[in-house]
Amino acid sequence: MFTENDRRELARLLQKRRRNADTGTRRSMLRWAKSDRGKRARAKYMANGGRAKLAAGRAPGTRSYTKIHSDNAASGLRALRHRQKWLVAEDSQLLKLCEGGKTAREISVILSRSFRAIERRREKLKKSCVASASPRVGAMSACECAVSDGGFLARLV
């Protein structure tokens, strides 16, 4: 086991290594910026409007602003149940909605979860259902399997 002093020394050495690596990158960037090629690139950037033009392209009302914010809303970055444990009722509702033909985006709105959380949970439930299904289950759907095997859903939470 490491002592507290060993941990401090290791952290100091890692920090020093990161700083040295970063300094090399920074130096090469500064060298490029001072070169003729870097000066020409900067002049072209400033002639085209520079940072103000980029900011104007992302201002409210523009196409890129709308796309960025609609993607954020659709992906559920502000989901109400973000990082909260999945409930058994949510799992069964998710599977029923999947079998009903709903897309992950539609389900994310219904369950107040992010789009990615819906996709991940659906895959996890399908894998666990296939693994827990016995030969006698037969042609049960994923939803029936999850609802019939209460312990299966309880183990996932």
Whole-angstrom distance, CA of residue 124 vs CA of residue 104: 14
Q: The whole model's pTM is what?
A: 0.41
Averaged pLDDT of the chain: 76
User: Environment class of residue 91 by beta-carbon count within 10 Å: exposed (0-12), middle (13-18) or buried (19+)?
Assistant: buried
Q: Would the pLDDT of 93 be above 90?
A: yes
Listed by start position, the domains of the chain span: 4-74, 81-156
**pLDDT over 70, % of the chain:** 73
